[in-house]
Structure 1
Amino acid sequence: MTILALAALMATPSPLRAAPTYYWAIPGHNFVTTTSENRPFHFLNRSGNSLDDIEQLTLARPQHVQAIMLDSTESAIACARAWLQPIHALGQCGQPAGFFRSVLFWDSSRLTAPPHWAALWDVARYPGQRAFFRGPRLTLELALLADGVPPKKIYAQLSTSAGIDRAFHKLSQLRPYIIWWRSPAEAYHILQEQTVLMGITPSAIILSPQTRNTLARPYQAQMKNILYSPAVWSIPATLPAEKSSETRKILLTGPPRLASIPDPMPTESLEISDSFWATHAIFLSERFNAWLAQSPPPAP
């Protein structure tokens, strides 16, 4: 079920006052593995991924979302703005839920060998459009990986003015070729409707047979090049107290989860740093939006 479908359902009058159904909201096209306790979870695919969408969903009245899956930066911002309920004694609003996986993908009918990060910028050898996430998180890391920075040194670079400038300079080189997506639903639509050569996308779009068979081209995932982003469950601020208590207990004992990071992790992959983005998210978001607002250079 989607957010729009839920809104329509809530707006439809019912002659019977049945107990409401509560949903666990996840970004579209993400694999979720339920716990061994086999509780009857009702999942809701949320298509919006902006802070405005998160605010609207977490402050809805009446509230029919029991828990919402966010990345750790979104959860920290929403928690600070009182859109979420604390789960832990220190006021933290997020409970670990595994990892979102964003994979490097390519059109296997046009590229005979799997690409690596640097190939994203090689438009002379590989002309064509690229799909990127429209935001600093994931995207700045990706720029430095493509520029030859080893995964273990990414955040040391991004913690300096020179490293940030380096990442934005790298992005500017590729900008005329980038198609931006804001949510998994938008990424899926791009790959379904357009002939993108390569890029970064949520893994489930490429790996799920149900979605892969509907894409415009025979896209494949490069499983050595993955960005792992910590996911957390959070409780909306307007969820009733009794349901909040039940949800908190589930979150602390056995919630649904995404996949974990493999051990060992592929050497060209990267775990997105929670601590870095907790400190730098606001500043880098402002700089990214200002960079986007500038007139892009023309394609060569």
Structure 2
Amino acid sequence: MTFRLRALGALAVLTLGACGSGSDLRPLTVVGWGGSSQDAHRQAYWSSFSQATGIPLREDSWRGGVGVIRTKVTGGDTSWDIVQVETEDLILGCEEGLFQRLDWAALGGRDAFLPAAVHDCGVGAMLWSYVIGYDGDRIRGAGPQSWADFWDVRRFPGKRGMRKTPKYSLEFALMADGVPPDQVYPTLRTPAGVDRAFRKLDEIKPHVVWWSSISQVPDLLGSGEVVMSVTSPGRLVVANRTEGRHFKLNWHGNIYAVDYWVILANSPRKAEAAQLLRYMTRPESQMRLARFIPTGLTNIEANREVGPELKRDTPSDPANMVGALELNADFWVEYGDQLTQRFNAWVAR
């Protein structure tokens, strides 16, 4: 998932220890998406890890993109150790040698995790989805039930929030145009299918507020700037819990994927980074994460043991996966550049 930089300052040091200057003496540095997901990781993992091990840890946030990591690694910047990445960045970065290959035996073995959470260079951090979110205080009664409803500005007047990327936007456009989830990527692999998706986006473009950070969505909905938005469930559920909001979700046609933890190939803290990976992926650690943010867990034992009340607003609940679409990372690795160029030109028109 790609999110806005969290207003944490440039870096937040969780535990201060005897750290001198220089990359070899700096704290272990972990990089996430910011916002409520990073808050949850801090509460569930990072603070307790530093307290238990005495290893100083600091955090940073980023927006994603393998180019950022490529520049750091090839340019000799060793300021990051562990990074949370999306699937496409994992695939490309592993192929380019930007990430350390993992010792799966030390993590409990590949069989301890959901198959989608296992990769030579990354271990699943969380299973997440993009769904339709709206404010129940503004849309009374039956809210949007599908992407066709999301596109229906007559029935549901007002602006829509959408992520400013072709990824997700094209898939949702085709589903709004009646393409079944299992036919979305076969359709997008054809020039006619891509044209169809952009024609559908043309319909809604005048009504869209584009966001670049998922952290913007609660504010966009809460202020009434948009009446509904593409969103990750966790952001709105946390806002309901902590701010007394009445945001609602519709899971029909959601797109789900796995984020991964990777260790950068040029990290000077590989041993400590591997230790933190083991800590974050243990069943008891992931079960603790579920208390702070609704997210799908990647450790099989954690998924089995966590209570149903903590699965209700996550992709781990089978009811939420009816009619869902798994993000096809291989498709976006193959076609991402050309579709991004076309999408950016289309947005600018």
Q: Name the CA shift for 1:143/1:49 in 2 (closer, same or farther; >3 Å).
A: same
CA contact (8 A) 1:130 1:198 kept: yes
Of 160, 179, 184, 2:214 maps to 184
User: Please, which of 244, 248, 257 is the counterpart of residue 270 of structure 2?
Assistant: 244
Aligned CA-pair RMSD: 3.8
Specify whether residues 85 and 193 from structure 1 end up closer, same or farther in structure 2 by C-alpha distance, changes over 3 A only: farther
Q: Which residue pairs with 2:116 in the alignment?
A: none
Residues 215-254 of structure 1 mapped to structure 2, 5 A cutoff: 218-240=246-268, 243-248=269-274, 251=277
Higher mean alpha-carbon deviation, 71-80 vs 54-63, is at 54-63
Kept in 1, the 8 Å contact 2:99–2:121? The answer is yes
For residues 91-240 of structure 1, what are the structure 2 equivalents within 5 Å? 93-112=121-140, 113-115=142-144, 116-209=146-239, 213=243, 218-240=246-268
What is the aligned residue count?
285
Cα 1:48–1:276, aligned 2, differ >3 Å: closer, same or farther?
Answer: closer
Equivalent residue for 1:286? 341
Cα pair 2:135 2:221 within 8 Å, conserved: no
**Match status 1:26 vs 2:54:** no
User: What is the CA distance between 1:146 and its match in structure 2?
Assistant: 1.1
Q: Find the aligned partners of 2:19 and 2:28 in 1 and give their Cα distance.
A: 17
Unaligned runs of 5+ in 1: 296-300
For residue 85 of structure 2, the aligned residue among 70, 73, 98 is 70
**TM-score (ref. length: structure 2):** 0.67
Which amino acid letter does the alignment assign opposite residue 141 of structure 1?
E
Tell me whether 1:266 sits opposite 2:321 in the alignment: yes
AA at the equivalent of 1:290:
A
The Cα shift of 1:54 comes to 5.2
Which protein has the bigger helix share? 2
Q: CA deviation at 1:80?
A: 5.3
Q: Do 1:69 and 1:232's aligned partners in 2 also have CA atoms closer than 8 Å?
A: yes
SS at match of 1:230: strand
Tell me the secondary structure at the aligned position of residue 220 of structure 2: helix
Which has the larger displacement, 175-184 or 109-118? 109-118
Structure 2 gap ranges (5+): 52-56, 105-118, 287-294, 298-314
Counterpart CA distance in 2 for 1:15 and 1:88 is 29
Q: Give yes or no for contact 1:68–1:234 (8 Å, CA) kept in 2.
A: yes
- Contact 1:58/1:83 (8 A) holds in 2: yes
Q: CA deviation at 1:55?
A: 5.7
Counterpart-to-counterpart distance in 1, 2:160 and 2:323: 19
Asked if residue 277 in structure 1 is aligned to residue 332 in structure 2, the reply is yes
Cross-structure match for 2:289: none
Distance 1:16 1:100, change over 3 A: closer
Give the TM-score, by structure 1 length: 0.77
Relative contact order, CA 8 A, sep 6+: which one is greater? 1
Question: Are residues 287 and 105 of structure 1, via their aligned partners in 2, closer, same or farther at CA, if it must alter by over 3 Å?
Answer: same
Q: CA deviation at 1:268?
A: 2.9
- Alpha-carbon distance between aligned partners in 2 of 1:214 and 1:60, rounded to the nearest angstrom: 46
User: What does residue 108 of structure 2 align with?
Assistant: none
